[in-house]
Amino acid sequence: MSVFADLDNILRACPAEYLAEEYGPDATVESIAERLVEGIRAVALECASLGEHTGAQMPATVELADGTVTLTNWSLTELAPDFYGHSYMQIGGWLPEDYKPGLISQGTNHMVRADLPGIADVAQAVNVTVEAKGYGGPQRFMKIQWRHLSYPANWLEVLRETGKLPAPLGPKPKGPSPVDGLSYRAQQLLAHVQDDPGTRWQTGRAEQVYADLGYPKRGRRHNARSDLHELAARELLTVHGPDDSRYFLYVQPKETV
């Protein structure tokens, strides 16, 4: 039985109401099948386009502070965020067989520009990390990475709960930020507060957040109390109530005109 025969049987088994809602009241099995085939063709064209953008045709040229390299079978990839929520872009590709190790400094370097055929918008004049490794063959593989986006401190929790990354943080404002120098633990607490901005936050609630995040019980309550006060001192929270029933509220950021 052909794929199209299978498709025909599947569509005929679907409730008419569903097909009408998805594809319109005048749609027929034949017209729906044709639309699905067109979708497959579109995916094939997109894959071909991606093939060009991953170095299937033309080599890439990257100018670094101490020289220029040519990479074949290259790719441009956004890497998953690290522990702190920072994601990186990476250019990866194969160096020529006659490349001599040591010509380009590994570790911290500076990328002047990158010419990736088919991709116009590539970062320029950025600090990068360079790594070149051999895998037993005549060529070495080079990775060039630089900071791309930053995500909220609780990005991994959001990813696990929703299957999607949260929206990236906006560009860092000029001048000092109230979260500069704030511990990662307190940044995680702040992210939870921001997710529930109207809630009264007390030590017990903050302690439960740290318990859910897997922090050890020893010192957890003390850390929760001190971190709430630290956030208040940075004017991210306001303090309310008497000493024996104190709670904290999130300070909504002021909108800029």
Residue 71 in this model has a pLDDT that exceeds 90:
yes
Structure tokens, 28: 């027929």
172-250: CATH class: mainly alpha
Label residue 7 by pLDDT band (50, 70, 90). Answer: low
Residue 62 in this model has a pLDDT that exceeds 90:
yes
- Which residues on neighbouring strands pair with residue 237, listed in sequence order? 250
Instruction: For residue range 9-59, list pLDDT tens digits in order.
Output: 666 777 777 667 666 777 777 777 766 665 565 555 444 444 434 444 689
Instruction: For residue range 93-137, list pLDDT tens digits in order.
Output: 999 988 887 888 888 888 888 998 888 777 778 888 999 988 888
Q: What is the mean pLDDT of the chain?
A: 80
Q: Are 240 and 247 in contact (CB under 8 A)?
A: yes
The domain locations on the chain are 3-53, 60-150, 172-250
Confidence (pLDDT) at 54: 46
Confidence (pLDDT) at 220: 93
From residue 109, how far is each of 18, 48, 68, 126, 132 by CA, in Å? 57, 33, 12, 9, 13
Confidence (pLDDT) at 187: 86
- pTM of the predicted protein model: 0.47
Distance, CA of 253 to CA of 170 (rounded, Å):
13
Q: Are 34 and 42 in contact (CB under 8 A)?
A: no
